[in-house]
Copies of this chain bind each other. A is one copy, B any other.
Amino acid sequence: MSQHRHPGAPGRAGAVPALPDLPEATVARLPEYLRALHNLADAGHETVSSEGLANAAGVNSAKLRKDLSHLGSYGTRGVGYDVALLIEQIESVLGLTQCRSVALVGVGNLGHALAGYDGFASRGFRIAALFDADPARVGEEINGLVVRHVDELPRVAAEQLISIGVIATPASAAQAVADQLVAVGVTSILNFAPCVLSVPEGVDMRKVDLAIELQILSFHEHRKASLTALPGTAGSALTALPGGLAATDTQEAIGT
Chain A positions within 8 Å of B, measured between CB atoms, are: 1, 3-4, 6, 8-10, 13-15, 17, 19, 22, 24, 27-28, 30-32, 34-36, 56-58, 93-96, 100, 102, 109-110, 112-114, 116-117, 119-120, 123-125, 163-164, 175-176, 178-180, 182-185, 187-190, 194-227, 229-231, 233-234, 236-238, 240-241, 244-256
* A179 shortest CB reach to chain B, Å: 5
Chain B residues with Cβ under 8 A from A194's Cβ? Answer: 35, 119
Contact status B244-A179, CB under 8 Å: yes
CB atoms of B206 and A30 under 8 A apart = no
Contacts of A34 in B (CB 8 A): 215
Given contacts A119-B194, A198-B251, 11 further A-B contacts (CB under 8 A): A1-B255, A8-B234, A36-B196, A95-B221, A124-B218, A125-B211, A182-B246, A198-B246, A199-B250, A201-B247, A203-B237
Q: Which residues of B contact A176 (CB under 8 A)?
A: 244
Q: Which residues of B sit under 8 angstroms from A185, Cβ to Cβ? A: 238, 240
Q: By the criterion CB–CB under 8 Å, are B190 and A214 in contact?
A: yes
**A32 and B237 contact, CB distance less than 8 A:** no
- A183 & B219 in contact (Cβ 8 Å cutoff): no
**Inter-subunit contact A240/B184 (CB<8 Å):** yes
Q: List 18 A-B contacts (CB under 8 A).
A: A14-B229, A19-B226, A31-B212, A32-B196, A35-B194, A58-B196, A100-B221, A120-B211, A125-B211, A179-B241, A185-B240, A187-B221, A187-B237, A188-B221, A190-B210, A198-B251, A201-B247, A201-B250
**CA distance in complex: A125, B224 (Å):** 18
| Cα of A173 to Cα of B14 in the assembled complex, Å | 44
Which residue of chain B is the closest to A95 with respect to CB atoms?
A: B222
**CB atoms of B30 and A219 under 8 A apart:** yes
- Is there contact, CB below 8 Å, between A221 and B163? yes
- Rounded to whole angstroms, the CA-CA distance of A93 and B176 in the bound complex is 34
